[in-house]
Structure 1
Amino acid sequence: MLRIPDDFWDWLSLEWFSYSTLRSFDWVYPLVLYALPLVPLIFLMRWLLSLNTKNKLDLALFDGKLRWQWSSLLRFVPRIIYLLFMLLILVALARPQRVNEQIEQLAEGIDIVLVMDVSGSMELSDIAPSRLAAAKEVAQDFVKGRVQDRIGMVVFAGDAYSLAPLTTDYQLLRENINSISFKMIPNDGTAIGSALAVAINRMRDSEAKSKVIILISDGENTAGSLDPELAAQLAYAYGIKLYTIGIGKDGQVAYDVDDAGNTLYVETQMDESNLRKIAEIGQGQFFRADSKSTLQEIFRNINRMEKTEVSEKRFRDARDYYQVYLKWALLLLLTWMLLKNTFITNVLED
């Protein structure tokens, strides 16, 4: 037995002609819709041109005044139906459809650990407002630019601590970066080797296609029990790439004001050799940042070198609805053909 689908009669709903429904469509041939106003215009021009060309029949009428009958308007019904038929044909030709497009992003992320020096010398203001504040701001921008990468955070002075595990919760990571401050580690100094060891420990079980440590410091190793070069060799053994950034200017740098209001200066001189050696062993690169703009450019370079490739898959499902308006058009055409054979049609005007 032939079974009629449940939605077989759905096309008869007047909801198909509502403004919201028509607005919801994507039109394959939208230019066809511009022809819609031409249809009633053609009918109007045809009526104007036919005013003086109508066939007339002389009739003998009785004396008296003729009364207007509403039924005389019925002769316009076939024309209106035919006009609607033509409008619906144009709507169907414009091919309304609804498109459901889904985008699936595929990315094989990189594991990155930011290792930041928070020792007392990072409070110097040769990079305004301070070395640490500039490093934090640039680190925030770096986090914003990553996609699908797990990022962790290690801070160090005389000791090293993991501030944030490897995570894709960038909001949590930004909050952790904001929380970094001077003297958050009581033991002052620069334990670069220990900081690298903590970062490596976070990444040693990682299965990411690329593992990166970015170390930001303004001095040489002065604390901790692990030699930085040995830590770099350990990173190399685990397939971790090391980028080192030496931050700060050489020479006299203002650091405080005495009771008399005089500015106090301290002589700074960075020993780059240690940081360069670490980067070389770790198959990475050393950078020197003596200004905030330089630091920003360094992070942009690292961002380009360690870019996660993101591929997109698009699933496009398009469903046509021109059949609905075509069915309505055929229904109106059949109605028009039936009316042409009834008393409603004015035979004098055909």
Structure 2
Amino acid sequence: MDSELMDPWYTLEWFMPSTLKAFSWEYPIFFYLLLAVPLLFVVRWLLRYYFNQKLPVAVSQKDLAASPLNLIRLLPEFLLMLALMLIVTALARPQKTNEKVEQWTEGIDIMIALDISQSMQIEDFTPNRLEAAKKVALDFIKGRLQDRIGLVVFSGDAFSLAPLTTDYDLLRSYINEINFEMIENRGTAIGSAMAVVTNRMRESESKSKVCILLSDGDNTAGNIDPITAAELASAYGIKVYTIVVGKEGLVPYGKDFFGRPNMIENTVDETTLRKMADIGGGQFFRATDNQALVQVFSKIDQYEKAEIKETRFKDTSDYYFIYLQWAVSFFLLWLLLKSTFISNVLQD
């Protein structure tokens, strides 16, 4: 609650510049009438001066001496002017609006399946394919909001490294610890990885379930066909994005005795991963260097955004009655003083 709501109407805080600036004014056009108020009193004085009856009175010179106390007779007029100006202020309707915005989102469930087979040590990426993939995965997690993310790693076998979670610090620590020695069996079990992903996500109640599978080769291990695994994932409503990393042709792999990079022939078969993406209703990507891999994850990040819902509440408080109370007070005071010796009764 605004602290000024607790202030009584008769405090001078209501006339402080900071208080007046904090208001929004519903009808600011009424402020033009403030200029008319003093003009009204000038016209009123001129009419009285020229049209009121004048009574000649003989007084001595010493009685004509001016005194500052004579100005007191102007006090009732000043109070009436203040009352009118405060009425104009009340008509402008000072308000304070407290707008509250509530946002919420229904997160997406995302499983990242990462190939850690020996071929991911190839250095056509900097420093190698696996480290480049880990870096973009870490950056991808940074950009998510309230999404549950899990990790699956695979080589000759596949296992779940992290369940679906919103503990992003835990996920980052798991990703940093990924290495080639985590799975003893050699090969690339893409089908098995897809099956582990499906098993992790099959009981998910999220409206959007996504798998991002990253590999650099063909399915050479495991006892589950990748296409069959993709069809099973699709049956559970899992959208599949597949990413093939690596260049074709001669690529650096390790170093020789003299520290020079060994060059080996590398071939990439996109057919299986492309078909898996088609079945899973996602998209297939090919990344041949670090920048291309960053762009791939950036595209997926844009595609899979949770819908953010927003509700706005406006709480408007009126304060016109404060200035109206001041106006009434000054008006009553004017009526009181108008009937006392302070007024110039000869003017009425």
Determine if the TM-score, normalized by the shorter chain, exceeds 0.5: yes
- The correspondence for 2:180, drawn from 179, 183, 195, is 183
- Give deviations 1:57-105, integer Å, cap 9, x for gaps: 6652365995845x33423322432343243233323322222333333
- The correspondence for 2:78, drawn from 72, 77, 80, is 80
Larger mean CA deviation between 236-245 and 152-161 belongs to: 152-161
1:97 aligned counterpart, secondary structure: strand
Q: CA deviation at 1:108?
A: 3.6
Q: CA deviation at 1:341?
A: 2.6
Q: CA deviation at 1:324?
A: 1.8
Distance 1:199 1:257 in 2: 35
Q: CA deviation at 1:56?
A: 9.9
Distance 2:33 2:293 in 1: 60
In the superposition, relative to structure 1, how do residues 56 and 265 fare at CA in structure 2: closer, same or farther (>3 Å)?
A: farther
In the superposition, relative to structure 1, how do residues 301 and 323 fare at CA in structure 2: closer, same or farther (>3 Å)?
A: same
What is aligned with 2:154? 156
Work out whether residues 119 and 182 of structure 1, in 8 Å CA contact, stay in contact via their aligned partners in 2. no
**AA paired with 1:227?**
D
What is aligned with 1:264? 262
1:319 aligns with 2:309: no
TM-score (norm 2): 0.79
In the superposition, relative to structure 1, how do residues 233 and 334 fare at CA in structure 2: closer, same or farther (>3 Å)?
A: same
Superposed counterparts of 1:9-158, under 5 Å: 10-30=8-28, 38=35, 42=39, 59-61=58-60, 63=62, 68-69=67-68, 71-158=69-156
1:114 aligned counterpart, secondary structure: strand
Work out whether residues 37 and 84 of structure 2, in 8 Å CA contact, stay in contact via their aligned partners in 1. no
Work out whether residues 209 and 239 of structure 2, in 8 Å CA contact, stay in contact via their aligned partners in 1. yes
- Give deviations 1:99-151, integer Å, cap 9, x for gaps: 23333335343321111223343333323344334333433443344444322
1:203 aligns with 2:191: no
In the superposition, relative to structure 1, how do residues 91 and 136 fare at CA in structure 2: closer, same or farther (>3 Å)?
A: farther
Work out whether residues 126 and 290 of structure 2, in 8 Å CA contact, stay in contact via their aligned partners in 1. yes
In the superposition, relative to structure 1, how do residues 160 and 30 fare at CA in structure 2: closer, same or farther (>3 Å)?
A: farther
Work out whether residues 107 and 309 of structure 1, in 8 Å CA contact, stay in contact via their aligned partners in 2. yes
2:107 aligned counterpart, secondary structure: coil
Distance 1:162 1:27 in 2: 60
In the superposition, relative to structure 1, how do residues 331 and 203 fare at CA in structure 2: closer, same or farther (>3 Å)?
A: same
What is aligned with 1:3? none
Work out whether residues 123 and 182 of structure 1, in 8 Å CA contact, stay in contact via their aligned partners in 2. no
In the superposition, relative to structure 1, how do residues 337 and 255 fare at CA in structure 2: closer, same or farther (>3 Å)?
A: farther
In the superposition, relative to structure 1, how do residues 84 and 151 fare at CA in structure 2: closer, same or farther (>3 Å)?
A: farther
**AA paired with 1:183?**
F
Q: CA deviation at 1:293?
A: 3.8
CA RMSD, aligned part only?
Answer: 3.7
Distance 1:330 1:190 in 2: 87
Larger mean CA deviation between 39-48 and 102-111 belongs to: 39-48
**AA paired with 1:192?**
I
Distance 1:8 1:183 in 2: 66
Percent identity over paired residues: 51
Gaps of 5+ in 1: 1-6
- Give deviations 1:157-214, integer Å, cap 9, x for gaps: 344333332233445444544x244336152543323322222222111112221111
Aligned length: 340
- The correspondence for 2:232, drawn from 228, 231, 234, is 234
Distance 2:316 2:20 in 1: 16
- Give deviations 1:315-343, integer Å, cap 9, x for gaps: 22222221221222222222223322322
What is aligned with 1:244? 242
In the superposition, relative to structure 1, how do residues 292 and 47 fare at CA in structure 2: closer, same or farther (>3 Å)?
A: farther
Distance 1:135 1:56 in 2: 104
TM-score (norm 1): 0.79
Larger mean CA deviation between 312-321 and 145-154 belongs to: 145-154
**AA paired with 1:61?**
S
Distance 2:43 2:255 in 1: 95
